[in-house]
A and B are shown apart, each in its own frame.
Chain A
Amino acid sequence: MVNPFKQCKDLRLKPWQCPPFLFILMGIIAIIAMLATYFVASKYESPIILVGSVSFVTIIIMTIGYFVVQGVSRIVEVNQMKTEFVSIASHQLRTPLTSLSWSAGALEKTKLNDKQKEMLSSIKESHHRMIGLVNNLLNVSRIEQGKIKIIKEKFSLNKLIKETIKEFNSLAKARNTEIKFTATNKLTMQGDKEKIRIVISNVINNAILYSKAPGKIEISLKKNILSIKDNGVGVPKEQQKLIFKKFFRSDNVLKRQTQGTGLGLYISKAFVEAHKGKIWFESKENKGTTFYIKLKN
Chain B
Amino acid sequence: MKKILFIEDEQSLQKVLGNRLEQEGFSVLSALDGEIGFNLAKEKKPDLILLDLVLPKKDGFEVLKELKQEKETKDIPVMVLTNLETDADLQRILELGATTYLVKANYNLEEIVSKIKQTCA
* A94→B109 contact, CB < 8 A: no
* B83→A105 contact, CB < 8 A: no
Max count, chain B CB within 10 A of own CB: residue among A87, A98, A149:
A98
* A90→B10 contact, CB < 8 A: no
A135 contacts which chain B residues (CB < 8 A)?
A: 106
A105 touches which one: B103, B104, B110 (CB < 8 A)? B110
CA distance A105 to B104 in the complex (A): 13
* A138→B17 contact, CB < 8 A: no
A94 contacts which chain B residues (CB < 8 A)?
A: 83, 103-105
* B87→A105 contact, CB < 8 A: no
* A87→B86 contact, CB < 8 A: yes
- Give chain B's interface residue range (CB within 8 Å of chain A): 20 to 34
A106 contacts which chain B residues (CB < 8 A)?
A: 16, 19-20, 109
CA distance A291 to B46 in the complex (A): 53
* A101→B109 contact, CB < 8 A: yes
Given contacts A87-B86, A94-B83, A147-B87, contact A102 B106 (CB under 8 A): no
Closest to A108 in B: B109
CA distance A101 to B109 in the complex (A): 7
B87 contacts which chain A residues (CB < 8 A)?
A: 147, 149
A138 contacts which chain B residues (CB < 8 A)?
A: 85
- Taking the nearest CB of chain B, how far is it from the CB of A117, in angstroms? 16
CA distance A95 to B16 in the complex (A): 14
CA distance A95 to B84 in the complex (A): 10
Say what secondary structure dominates the interface of chain A: helix
| B residues 83-107 touching A (CB-CB < 8 Å) | 83-87, 103-106
Decide if B13 is an interface residue (CB 8 Å cutoff). Answer: yes
Given contacts A105-B108, A106-B109, A131-B106, contact A99 B83 (CB under 8 A): no
* A90→B109 contact, CB < 8 A: no
CA distance A129 to B83 in the complex (A): 17
CA distance A138 to B106 in the complex (A): 13
B86 contacts which chain A residues (CB < 8 A)?
A: 83, 86-87, 90
* B85→A99 contact, CB < 8 A: no
CA distance A103 to B104 in the complex (A): 13
- Taking the nearest CB of chain A, how far is it from the CB of B93, in angstroms? 14
* A97→B105 contact, CB < 8 A: yes
- Taking the nearest CB of chain A, how far is it from the CB of B79, in angstroms? 15
- Taking the nearest CB of chain B, how far is it from the CB of A98, in angstroms? 4
CA distance A95 to B13 in the complex (A): 9
CA distance A97 to B108 in the complex (A): 10
| B residues 15-34 touching A (CB-CB < 8 Å) | 16-17, 19-20
Given contacts A90-B83, A91-B54, A106-B20, contact A98 B104 (CB under 8 A): yes
Per-residue CB contact flags for chain A residues 71-94 toward chain B (1 = under 8 Å, else 0) read 000000000000100110011001
* A102→B16 contact, CB < 8 A: yes
B13 contacts which chain A residues (CB < 8 A)?
A: 98-99, 102
* B109→A102 contact, CB < 8 A: yes
Per-residue CB contact flags for chain B residues 6-17 toward chain A (1 = under 8 Å, else 0) read 000010110011
Known: A94-B105, A135-B106, A138-B85. 10 other contacts (CB 8 A): A83-B86, A90-B83, A91-B83, A95-B10, A98-B10, A99-B16, A102-B13, A102-B17, A103-B16, A134-B105
B-side residues, CB < 8 A to A, are 10, 12-13, 16-17, 19-20, 54, 83-87, 103-106, 108-110, 112
Closest 5 CB pairs of A and B: A105-B109, A94-B105, A94-B83, A99-B12, A102-B109
13 A-B residue pairs with Cβ-Cβ distance under 8 Å, sorted by A, are A83-B86, A87-B86, A90-B86, A91-B84, A94-B104, A94-B105, A95-B10, A95-B83, A99-B16, A102-B109, A105-B108, A106-B16, A131-B106
A-side residues, CB < 8 A to B, are 83, 86-87, 90-91, 94-95, 97-99, 101-103, 105-106, 131, 134-135, 138, 147, 149
